[in-house]
Amino acid sequence: MASITHSIGAIFQPIFHLFGWMLAFLYGLIPNYAVAIALLTIIIMGALTPFTVKSTKSMMAMQKLQPEIKKLQQKYKGPENRQVLNEELMRLYREEGANPVGGCLPVLLQAPFLFILYSVIRGLTNITPAGVVQPRYIPTTSKMYHNLIASHGQINAFGMDLNLKPFSHHSSLGATIPFFVLVALAVGLQYFQMAQMNNRNKKTGQAMPSQQQMLQRFLPVFFAYFYIVIPAAVVLYMIVSTIIRIITQDLMFRAGVSNPNKEKERAIPAVGKSESSEPAKKTDAVEPKPSTIKPQQQTRSRSKRKRKAR
Query: pLDDT of the chain along its 310 residues, tens only?
Result: 445 555 666 778 899 999 999 999 999 999 999 999 999 999 998 888 887 777 777 777 777 777 888 888 888 887 888 888 888 888 888 777 676 666 666 667 777 888 888 899 989 988 888 888 899 999 999 999 999 999 988 999 998 999 999 988 887 888 899 999 999 999 999 888 888 777 776 665 555 556 666 666 777 778 888 899 999 999 999 999 999 988 988 888 787 665 544 444 444 444 444 444 444 444 444 444 444 444 555 555 555 555 555 4
Is residue 295 in some structural domain?
Answer: no
State the CB neighbour count (10 A cutoff) for residue 170. Answer: 17
289 assigned to some structural domain: no
Tell me which residue range forms the domain holding 156: 14-259
Cβ within 8 Å of residue 216, ≥6 positions away = 194
Please state, as a whole number, how many other Cβ atoms lie within 10 Å of the Cβ of residue 232.
Answer: 26
Which residues have C-beta within 8 Å of that of residue 162, sequence separation ≥ 6?
A: 33, 34, 37, 121, 155, 156, 231, 232, 233, 236
Residue at 299 is within a domain = no
Count structural domains, the chain: 1
Whether 106 maps to a domain, the answer reads: yes
In a domain, 1, yes or no: no
Residue partners of 87: CB distance under 8 A and separation at least 6: none
302 inside domain: no
Question: Residue 284: inside a domain, yes or no?
Answer: no
**In-domain check, residue 272:** no
Q: How far apart are CA 251 and CA 247, in angstroms?
A: 6
Q: CB 95: neighbour CB atoms within 10 A?
A: 10
Q: What is the pTM of this model?
A: 0.70
The predicted pLDDT at position 205 comes to 59
Q: Which residues contact 310 (CB under 8 A, 6 or more apart)?
A: none
Number of H helices, E strands in the chain: 11, 2
